Structure formats: structure tokens, C-alpha cells
Structure 1
Amino acid sequence: MADPMDIDNAPRIQINLSTRDPSLSIPLQPLRIPTNLKRYGLSTLVNHLLETPKPIPFDFLVDGKYLRTSIDQYLTSAGLSSEKPLDVEYVRSQLPPTYVGSFEQDDWISSVHISPSPSPTILTGSFNGTAQITSLSGEILAKTVPMHTQSIKSITWVSPPSSSSSEASFLTAGLDRTINLWSYTPSSDPSETLQITPTTSYISHKSTITSLSYSPSTSQFLSSSSDHTISLWSTDSSLLPTITTPQSTSFTRKRRRTISKPPSTIKKGPLATLTPHTAPVSQIIFHQTDKSAAYSVSWDKSIITHDLITTQQISTRLTNHPLLSITVLPSLNLLAAGSAARHITLHDPRESSKTIQTAVLRGHTNGVVSLVKSPENEYIFASGSHDGSVRIWDVRSVSSSDTDENEGKSGGSLFVIKRESGTGKVFGVDWSRDVGLISVGEDKKIQINRGEGMADVTVMDQS
């Protein structure tokens, strides 16, 4: 912290403190503070005003940028005068996620989904065409039998393992154009690796299936494909038409000569097929609260909002680059879309919005292929990229400066997480309050990072 004598002699500036967190708000009041204060001094001031029983570490945003210097240095770099009041937003500090550990698998890992508590496990899909369930200590609890004839591209839990249910189930899909539903009963012996067989196969797409999204409230799921289509399905097989003759490929026939005959499954078609895009569909996700709606992104550069009841488009947002991934920040009415142009754009999807409110987040050096929102903070999300990194972003940290007029606001990432192996693309990310931030990729590893001990952190000099 700055020396008290320096504070007394330093020039002062009026600041207007504010926050978007109602639990941490203080009455609006003009404050005159020394311009040589940094984050520690400002954090001490806010804790004093809040009368917190235990100090909370805070960060500070000025014009959408995190304050990393003294106020005086910021004013000098921005060409501002201390005579004009300064608006300062305070937010809880985010700890950089530290490396916890990693578990290696047999092949590149394409996708990951963490099951919720009380018994969180890690479901992954692999380029060798199998999926597996791994414990948080690295034991392989279950593996799928050879069923997919090419790489798995997407996986999702349907009924995660829990103490109240004896059966768990999940979906897998990939390059062989087939979706499989798998069910199993978790073993009480963690040293036993179960072999899981599929119960139902879902067939409709004519090219790679790029993503899956499941809605527990409706028992429906969505799939997107490189064939430009989106399909709507149900895990209740009685609601779906039966498919008697699935199509095959030369690759499939060749692969099957080298493995044992795959298990027989019930084969079903979709409830509906949507054809709104003119290029491969990268990802489809359900609306967070209205499960009759969904969002999709595509190589045709569009974000489309769908009405799943009528199978019609509600709205279309056009961007400047092919889109590879999407996530929803529901409380903010924002969509984050990852692009092939290495950046992330933020969009307001509401039809009532007169204009598209966007911001561009830059930092990745290759395509952004996976996005996931924070389980704890509505303003935070993470991205995975083929540049081999995971980045964490705060949508409050955007600024109108240093950007083109046509792009709106722009921002940079809070933290960058590299692969512990030092190499390889990141293909998928997921984030759980209980487990942490998990990333998977070309290095064949499940990597876990976590911001440890937030509740136990006291204010310290972070300058």
C-alpha cells in the first residue's frame, strides 16, 4: 500500500463508485481520493464503506478496462485531467485458475461434460470413436464398446450418475453421422471399468454431427450437422419413427471388418428437421429458460433463434465471419459466439432489440471452438481454442477505445490457461462449481484448473 505521507501529499480526484452486484452496493456518494491509489487502496476503501466483517478482494473497472496501475498513471495514459470526476466500477476479484491435474486417454479428446454433484464425474468423447467416464481422481469408471465407426465429435449427459438414481445415461455423436444413447448402472467399485452398450441409435444426418444439446425438462435433444441441418429428437423412443435401413459408407464397411460386430440397437428418426442455414451448422443449444427455443451458429456467419414448436426461425443475426461455437449468458440477455476469425462476439438476441448490441473480445490466435459460462458469476465465461489455450473473459471488461467504429466495444481476456503438456489444440471446455474448469484436446489429456480458496482470500496488495 502507498505510504500515508504520500497519500496526504498526492493530488486528489473525485470518483463515483458503483457496482452491478446488488449485494455489494453502497449509497451513491462523491468521494475525493488520492490519485496515487492502486487496487489495494481502492479495495480497502470499498471494504471500509461496506463495513465487511472479513475483507473482500475487489478489482476496478474504468471505461470498461481493469485498473492495473495507479489512478494517476491511468489518467496520464488516457490523457485525462484529475479535475473531472471519474466513474469507477468495483467487482469481486477473480483468482487465476491454477493447474490441479490431468489424466491421459488413448487418443485425442474431442468433447467433455461434467456431471453435477453429489458424485461429479467427467464424460469425454474421443477421436477413437469411444466415450468414457472418469472419476475426479483419474479412475476410468466406464467405457463404451466399439459402436461409432469414426471419431466422436460431441457428447452430453442425459441422466447423470446420482445417489437417487441407479441408472445413468448419455448421448454420443460424431463423424459417422449417428447419435447413440447409452445407459449403465454405476459400479460401487471404482476399480472396476464397466463396458457400456448402446440402447438406441438416432439416424437422420448425412454428414458429420457437430454438436448435441439436451433439455432435461422436455426429454428432448438437438443435433447440428455439417449437412446444414438441425434435428430435434426425444429420448422417449415411442415418440420417434423407426428407421429400418440406415445408410452406410465405405469407411464404415472397412472399419467393421477390423472390429467385432457392433451391438444391435433400436434405430429412430427425428421429430423434426430444421434447414435454416446455408452452410455447416457448428453448434445448436437450447434457450436457458424457454425450452421451446434454441440458438444455432454456422459457417454461413449467422446466429439463428429457433421456435422448436413451429420449427420456424424467430430471428437471424448476421456476423462478419464463420461461427464455430456459442454459449448463453441468460441473466444478461447475451449470446457469446466464437468465430473462425479468432475472436468472440457478444450479441443481444432479443427480438425487441432495435440494434444488435455487440462487443468483440480478442486474444485467441486460432479458431474459438468451445465456450462455457461460469457456474458462479453471470459476467464470466471461458473459451477453448485451436491455439492451445483456454481464456477467461468478463463481459464487463469492454471498452469503446482502441477499436474500429463499426465493431462497437472490444475487450481482452482476464486469464490465459495453457496446456500443461505444452502442446496441442483445445477441442472442448466445461466448467463446474464443484470440479473447476476442465479442458480437453489434442494432447489426449483431461486438464483441470481451478481458482482455489476464493472464500478464504483476504485483501492483499495486488499492485
Structure 2
Amino acid sequence: MDEEGPQVRVRFITKDPSISVTETPIALPTRSNRRLLSKVINHLLNPPKVILFDFLIDENFLRTSLSKYMCQHLLSEETILTLEYVRALPEPNFDIKASHSDWVSAVSATGSEVVATGSYDGILRIYGVDKGVCKAQQHAHEGAIKAVHVKYHPSADVYLIATCGLDQIARIWRFDQKTSTLSDQNMLCGHTNSVNDVCMTSVQVITGGWDHTVRVWNLENRLDGDLSRERKRQKKVEPVQSSSNSKADVVLAGHTAPVTGVAFHPHRSDWVVSASVDRSVRIWDRLKQQCVQSMLGDRAITDLSVNVHTNIILTAHPDHCVRLWDPRASENGQRAVQRTFESHQGWVSSVQWCDSHEHLFASCGYDGFVKVWDDRCGIPLHSITAHDGKAFDISWIKAPRGDHTTLKLASGGEDCLLKMFNVEQSSS
């Protein structure tokens, strides 16, 4: 390291014991940036292969030189800076793509070996994550599919898939990977306009609609017997026309504009979360059938994601931004929106936390980009030119591959393509 110029003492710390170095402060040039700092750590570790690192200072990623940071925070060269270093997320690389006959408006694959897509032609398609081959498809809705959600049902060793669309209904499907059969389980009716979003667990489904309502369905007695009784017995595939109409068990009214995002609260099974064009995020108690917290922002909301680790909420917006909401701040009388992430050059259509990484999330927008973020950094970690035209939806995939797990991103867009990108590989 060139020692010319002003210096400052730096203490390096990490939460990963496999890459720890001495915590004794080291004098480094103040002009050091993350590239030079990464060289220092590699010099101390002497690994077989060069490791790329990112550095956090005061719980935020360092994206300037140490000198600029010190100037911005009025720190002198006598200060000892403490930098936490983490392995940098490598640049995502393209994996596979699958063509559709119409715009791909909805994608879901979180934590599964299959990815489900919904398109403007109303067709639900199921693809394998490994090769991107279509395993099954079904005409699911009259008109565009607005959202899909995949949930693995371990007791029956099948996937449950919820879909919703412009035809004012939501449906529950069952996909048997062993036989590649896709069967209709139930049709959920009651919305009086387009159903914009759907989310499910193994026992419940929630939907949000253009009619300003959030609706909750209990799945008990609404699925095939082997699923509702958690048996592994296989049943005959039924045609779509055989599905029974089903009214919601709970209707939550209070939004004053279309509901665009819904999610289950990760730590309160009786709570659900919703977002709306009315600029608000609401938390509901489904048992009491009332809103327990309402947070108001400045812009209409197009999508919603709740962090399973921290309950922190992300929202997507037409003004090209992603915003981070902290319900705890709102409870304490502070502004709920704590941070704004700006990088997209168009309407942000989808945002999703990565369940396996507390700080990692992704977004996509009408600029055709998929962006990977860390909530401790104001600029994207990576920007992927994903689609020729608008990108409508994204989903994280944690796919097993032999003795390791591959973290992927799936996206769908106006170019009628489902695309998958490799983001990270780790040991199982």
C-alpha cells in the first residue's frame, strides 16, 4: 500500500470468522476506497483466490474514499475508523430464459424448485428452475393474470399456487411435480373489480383488489381431501370447470383506493399487511377484522414486501422510487418512511426482500431493469438490463444444486420472456 499522503487508523471487523483478520488498527491512506481496502484484507488473508469485499461504516456501505467520508462527517485524521467488511455480492449473470405467447405479468418461485408465471393471455405456467422447461400450463383466468404465489405443501409433497386476475377472481391450484399435473382446487370470488395481488400460506389466502378491499380465505375444506387433511394420497386431476365458488371469510375495508400489495405479517399469524394507491400501508388484525396501524406516505404504491427478519416494509412507486417503512418508527410518532432508494428511470413495478439475506432486496421497473440492493446502501449493488421493454415482476429463488444452493432472481416482462439470473452460490 502506498503510504504517501494523509493517513488514518482503521480497525477491521467482521461477523464471518472464516475471513477474520487482526482488529489492531492499521494506518492507511485517507484516499483509500473500497477497492484499495479490499486489497488490504486480501493481503492480510492471503486466500487462494482474490475475494471481493464491501465495507460498512456506521451501518452503511462505504461508497466514497475515507477522506470524503471523514470530510462529510467532520472527522479528523486522529479518529480511529471501524470498518466492518463482508463478502461482496458478485455481479448476477444470465442463466436461462423461457418464451411466452404474451406479456409475463407475474412471477413467483421463492424457496422452491419450480417457478410459476402468469401472463396477459390468462395462462398459468409452471417451469423447472434447473433448465427452464415448461412442466405444465393451464388457462387460469379470462384476461390478464395480475399475480401468482407459490407455496410448497410438504405433507402432500405438492405445490400450491394462488393466482388472481382482471376477471375479479382468485384461484388455488395444485402442482404435482412427480406427475407434472396441474389441477384447479378452488375459485375464490367476491371482489367487484380486478384482483391485483395474492399471497398464501398453507392454511390461508389473502387478496387485494381494485375495489379497495383486502379479503382473507381459510383453506380448510377448500382443497382436495389429501391436502386439507394433510395426507399424501394422490387424487384424480379435476378440470378447471369443476371448481366451486367461494366467498371470503373476512373482508377488510378501509383503503380509499385500489389495493396493490398484500402480505402476511411474518411474526403475527393473525395480522396481514396491505398497500394501496391511496399512499398508505396498513396492518390489519384479521381476527378482530380491524386496522391496527395505518401509515401514510407521499406517493401511490404499486407493490409491497415485508422483511421476514425485521418486519421492515418495502414499497414500489410510480415516481421511480423504492421506499423503506419502519412500523416501529410510526408507533413512536416518527415518520414511517425511513429511506428512499432512487435509481430506476421509470415506474417501479415490483419489489421483494430476499428471505435468506436480512438486508438484500430486488426491484424491477418499466425501464426494463432488475436491480439488486442492500438496504444499507443508497445505490444498487447491481443493475441488470433484464427486458426489452417493461419489467413487471420479480421473485427470488433458492434452488438446491447438488452440494450447494444457488440464489437466483426470476423476472417477467413486456418482451414475453421469463428470465433467470444467478446471484450467489453457497454450500448447503
Letter in 2 for 1:97: P
> CA-to-partner distance for each residue in 1:399-447, whole Å, 9 max, x for gaps?
xxxxxxxxxxxx222211112x5x1111110012225011111111111
Which of the residues 59, 83, 93 maps onto 2:54? 59
Alignment partner of 1:128 is 2:112: no
Alignment partner of 1:156 is 2:149: yes
Alignment partner of 1:15 is 2:15: no
Letter in 1 for 2:7: R
Alignment match, 2:332: 353
Which of the residues 402, 413, 422 maps onto 1:441? 413
Give the TM-score, by structure 1 length: 0.77
Alignment match, 1:254: none
Letter in 2 for 1:365: Q
In the TM superposition, residue 385 of structure 1 has moved relative to its aligned partner by 1.2
In the TM superposition, residue 329 of structure 1 has moved relative to its aligned partner by 2.1
Alignment partner of 1:334 is 2:334: no
Partner Cα separation in structure 2 for residue 50 and residue 236 of structure 1: 55
Alignment match, 1:231: 215
Alignment partner of 1:289 is 2:267: yes
Does the C-alpha gap of structure 1 residues 198 and 451 become closer, same or farther in structure 2, counting only changes over 3 Å?
closer
In the TM superposition, residue 262 of structure 1 has moved relative to its aligned partner by 6.2
Letter in 2 for 1:229: T
Matches of residues 375-394 of structure 1 in structure 2 within 5 Å? 375-394=355-374
Give the conservation status (yes or no) of the 8 Å contact 1:116–1:432: yes
Alignment match, 1:205: 191
Does the C-alpha gap of structure 1 residues 80 and 333 become closer, same or farther in structure 2, counting only changes over 3 Å?
same
Give the conservation status (yes or no) of the 8 Å contact 1:209–1:226: yes
In the TM superposition, residue 395 of structure 1 has moved relative to its aligned partner by 1.1
Give the conservation status (yes or no) of the 8 Å contact 2:12–2:22: no
Unmatched runs of 5 consecutive residues or more in structure 1: 240-260, 398-410, 456-463
Does the C-alpha gap of structure 1 residues 156 and 238 become closer, same or farther in structure 2, counting only changes over 3 Å?
closer
Give the conservation status (yes or no) of the 8 Å contact 2:321–2:344: yes
Letter in 1 for 2:27: R
Give the conservation status (yes or no) of the 8 Å contact 1:375–1:433: no
Which of the residues 290, 315, 326 maps onto 2:293? 315
Does the C-alpha gap of structure 1 residues 26 and 285 become closer, same or farther in structure 2, counting only changes over 3 Å?
farther
> CA-to-partner distance for each residue in 1:145-185, whole Å, 9 max, x for gaps?
x342111111112445x7x7454432211000011222343
Partner Cα separation in structure 2 for residue 159 and residue 147 of structure 1: 19
Partner Cα separation in structure 1 for residue 18 and residue 114 of structure 2: 33
In the TM superposition, residue 39 of structure 1 has moved relative to its aligned partner by 2.9
Alignment match, 2:235: none
Does the C-alpha gap of structure 1 residues 73 and 231 become closer, same or farther in structure 2, counting only changes over 3 Å?
closer
Partner Cα separation in structure 1 for residue 44 and residue 268 of structure 2: 40
> CA-to-partner distance for each residue in 1:257-292, whole Å, 9 max, x for gaps?
xxxx96132111111100020110011100112221
Unmatched runs of 5 consecutive residues or more in structure 2: 224-238, 400-406
Does the C-alpha gap of structure 1 residues 365 and 64 become closer, same or farther in structure 2, counting only changes over 3 Å?
farther
Partner Cα separation in structure 1 for residue 319 and residue 15 of structure 2: 31
Does the C-alpha gap of structure 1 residues 42 and 320 become closer, same or farther in structure 2, counting only changes over 3 Å?
same
Between Structure 1 and Structure 2, whose CA radius of gyration is higher? 1
Matches of residues 36-115 of structure 1 in structure 2 within 5 Å? 36-46=31-41, 56-62=51-57, 66-68=61-63, 70-72=65-67, 81-114=76-109
Alignment match, 1:142: 136
Letter in 2 for 1:427: F
**Residue range with higher mean Cα deviation, 94-103 or 328-337:** 328-337
Q: Give aligned-pair identity as a percent.
A: 29
Does the C-alpha gap of structure 1 residues 227 and 75 become closer, same or farther in structure 2, counting only changes over 3 Å?
same
Which of the residues 351, 354, 359 maps onto 1:371? 351
Alignment match, 2:397: 432
Does the C-alpha gap of structure 1 residues 22 and 222 become closer, same or farther in structure 2, counting only changes over 3 Å?
farther
Partner Cα separation in structure 2 for residue 349 and residue 329 of structure 1: 12
Does the C-alpha gap of structure 1 residues 15 and 446 become closer, same or farther in structure 2, counting only changes over 3 Å?
same
Partner Cα separation in structure 1 for residue 144 and residue 14 of structure 2: 46
**Residue range with higher mean Cα deviation, 108-117 or 73-82:** 73-82
Give the conservation status (yes or no) of the 8 Å contact 1:158–1:170: yes
Does the C-alpha gap of structure 1 residues 31 and 98 become closer, same or farther in structure 2, counting only changes over 3 Å?
same
* Larger fraction in strand: 2
In the TM superposition, residue 47 of structure 1 has moved relative to its aligned partner by 6.1
Give the conservation status (yes or no) of the 8 Å contact 2:97–2:419: yes
Letter in 2 for 1:339: H
Alignment partner of 1:417 is 2:384: yes
Alignment match, 1:179: 170
Does the C-alpha gap of structure 1 residues 376 and 10 become closer, same or farther in structure 2, counting only changes over 3 Å?
farther
Partner Cα separation in structure 2 for residue 185 and residue 290 of structure 1: 30
Alignment match, 2:402: none
Partner Cα separation in structure 1 for residue 183 and residue 359 of structure 2: 40
| Other structure's SS at 1:321 match | coil
